[in-house]
Amino acid sequence: MNFDKVKRISYLILILYFVSLIPVIVLSFYNFPSADDYSFAREAHAALDDGKGVVGALIAVFGRVSNLYKTWQGNFSGVFMMSFTPLISGCGAYFLGTVLTVSMLSFGVISFFNTLYGKVFGIDKKSMYGISGIVLFIVIQCMPLSARVEGLFWYNSSIYYTFSMGVMFFYFSGLLKLIYENTDNRKTVPLLVFSSFVGIYLGGTNFLTGIVSVIVSFGVIVLLIMPKKLSRFVNLPESQKANIIVPALMIIFFIVSVIAPGNRLRGESLGGLGAVKSVLVSYYYVLDMAIGQWSSWIVITLFIISFVAWICIFKVNNTEKAIKYPVIMTFILISLIASTITPSLFATGNIDGGRLQAGFWIVYVVMTEIIISIWANVFYHNMIIKNESFIMKMGTMLCLLFFLGSLLNIGVDKEVYVFTEAFYELTSGQASAYALENIERISVMESSEGEDIVVDRLNVRPNLLFYMDLSDDPQEWSNTAVAKYYGLNSIAAK
């Protein structure tokens, strides 16, 4: 076992992950907006139609952010991203939602893992790409069926939750760099400014991403303020205290988001669980939903493969650092997973939305991988099995099992992975038929300004692309949003 061999395998895994994204990205070109896509885009779209340009569109977007902050929701940066959408210039660029979401999440996770294990363990990032590839494959390609549309393809929710998750991992990466790098380094000031803006952005995204970021930010503040008292866990130089501004800004702007008048007004129409019950149910869902329902044999096999990969990585990097208190660290990470859904349970009493499940899934997979690395580190420093060839053979057998099992699964279940489902919808003609129906409908709407129109319902509804159709009631909120976007008097579907 040598570093070059591990590096080559690592690069191969990451390349295979990016190759698996090709059908997903291609499918996104057949995607079209629906529901809240129109309601959030209409003001900026109207500004562009009136010849006010990008500046006018931005003014309209900021006006919507301000209005919703007062009347409905305080997530200012999340509302901004939902309102400043590709749809403001038409449906042609709608595919960018999936491209932006997948790209941000992918590079955010890669940056986070490279920084976390590079700074804490001194592991070369070239040997970390394989772990990132495995994690991202699980996150995106094994995403639960109920979360795929809203997590990856419907712009309004994917940019609000999944995209923000990617930003969150970039933020964590920036925090780690600020903690472990010398403050006298010339790179620190730009990193400090950039991380501060990212923290402010995260403060106003959504409560799922926000609560995880707040918990981590608070932990970083504790480490920066009291490094001596916590020296059993990590040693930090006193000079790093200046970097407290980054996590502090994140928390401050999260509070700004939480105290918005709109949240109070919105909360009056919702019924959630009590605080204590929300916390307890959150832990239950980690066991029942994330582990019990979503962790298929494929996911478990990939986690085991990553455990073997960690041992190889620790070996070739001659990792001397041993993790103290692995049980405590494991409990903290499980609590972090549970915290992602606590706000939703407290506010609404459920996590039925696919977008919420997508965010929950992402945090579950990433934090579980960190837990695996912790116990792989414990195993590595207390290895009973010293035979390296045995470890490599075990890893090879697991990879073969995964490959053969995947072939069997794909043969009977096209939905086993997101890329296989995307490939099926492309090759079966579903995607093109769905696109054609939408194009015909849009043509009718664009030529019927000021009229009352009735359009046909969408007959083709691909699992990955279709989110919601128009109602037969012209007064339905989704219908009125489409009508206002296209300048119609009313619209209904039959």
Query: Reduced to 3 states, what is the DSSP secondary structure of residue 359?
Result: helix
Per the domain annotation, does 57 fall within a domain? no
221 vs 1, higher pLDDT: 221
- Same domain for 317 and 462? no
Same domain, 350 and 309: yes
Instruction: Give the SS3 label for residue 467.
Output: coil
Same domain, 399 and 432: no
What percent of the chain has a predicted confidence (pLDDT) above 90?
61
Give residue 357's pLDDT: 93
> Are 217 and 284 part of one and the same domain?
yes
Could you tell me the pLDDT band of residue 441, with boundaries at 50, 70 and 90?
very high
- Residue-level pLDDT at 185: 60
**Whole-number pLDDT of residue 302:** 94
Tokens describing residue 471: 């109602």
Q: Are residues 493 and 368 in the same domain?
A: no
Q: Is the pLDDT of residue 72 over 90?
A: no
User: Would you state the pLDDT for residue 66?
Assistant: 93
Q: Residue 271: name the closest of 347, 352, 362 by CA.
A: 347
Is 349 in the same domain as 258? yes
Tokens found for residue 420:
């296989």
Round to the nearest angstrom and report the end-to-end CA distance of the chain: 65
Residues 215 and 317 reside in one and the same domain: yes
Question: 33 near 100, Cβ under 8 Å?
Answer: no
Give per-residue pLDDT as tens, 184-232.
566 677 888 888 999 999 999 988 899 999 999 998 888 777 655 554 5
Closest CA to 112 of 295, 319, 315, 369: 369
Residue 466 is encoded by which pair of tokens? 């279709």
Phi, psi of 442 (to 5 degrees): -60, -40
Lowest mean pLDDT among 35-39, 171-175, 339-343, 479-483: 339-343
Dig out the tokens for 185 from the structure.
């380094």
Residue 399 lies inside a defined structural domain of this protein? yes
Question: 27-45 pLDDT, tens per residue?
Answer: 999 999 999 999 999 999 9
Among 412, 443, 468, residue at a domain's last position: 412
Does 102 map to a domain? yes
Cα(5)–Cα(127) distance, integer angstroms: 9
Q: Which of 102, 96, 115, 241 is nearest to 172 (CA)?
A: 115
Which whole number is the average pLDDT over 330-339? 93
Angstrom distance (rounded) from CA 60 to CA 44: 5
- Specify whether 386 is located in the same domain as 281: yes
pLDDT score for 365:
96
Instruction: Please report whether residue 382 resides in a domain.
Output: yes
Q: Domain count for the chain, please give it.
A: 2
Residue 389 has pLDDT above 80, yes or no: no
pLDDT of 235 over the 60 cut? no
Query: Looking at 385, 412, 439, which one is the last position of a domain?
Result: 412
User: Of 377, 412, 447, which residue is a domain's last?
Assistant: 412
Q: What is the largest CA-CA distance in the chain?
A: 77
Quote the tokens at residue 208. Answer: 């799922």
* pLDDT value at 233 more than 60: no
Residues 123-144: pLDDT tens digits? 888 889 999 999 999 999 999 9
- List the structure tokens of 177: 């760099």
Helices (H), 181-296: 188-203, 207-225, 245-258, 261-267, 275-285
- What is the per-residue pLDDT for 204? 92
Q: 432 with 484, same domain?
A: yes
Residues 232 and 256 in one domain: yes
Which helix (H) or strand (E) segment holds residue 492: the answer is: strand 490-493
Considering the domain boundaries, does residue 50 fall inside one? Answer: no
pLDDT at 83: 94
**For residues 235 and 237, what is the distance between their CA atoms, to the nearest angstrom?**
7
Q: What is the pLDDT of residues 254-308, one digit of tens each?
A: 999 989 888 777 766 666 677 788 888 999 999 988 899 999 999 999 999 999 9
Q: What is the pLDDT of residue 353?
A: 85
Q: Same domain, yes or no, for 281 and 317?
A: yes
Q: Is residue 107 part of a domain?
A: yes
Q: Measure Cα distances from 258 to 70, 76, 82 in Å.
A: 12, 10, 18
Residue 323 has what pLDDT?
A: 84
pLDDT at position 242: 62
Nearest to 179 by CA among 253, 235, 230, 218: 235
Statement to judge: residues 406 and 441 lie in one domain: no
How much is the mean pLDDT over the chain? Answer: 88
- Would you state the pLDDT for residue 375? 92
pLDDT category at 183 given cuts 50, 70, 90 is low
Is 418 among the domain residues?
Answer: no
- Domain residues for the domain of 184 are 3-29+95-412
Residue 85 inside a domain? The answer is no
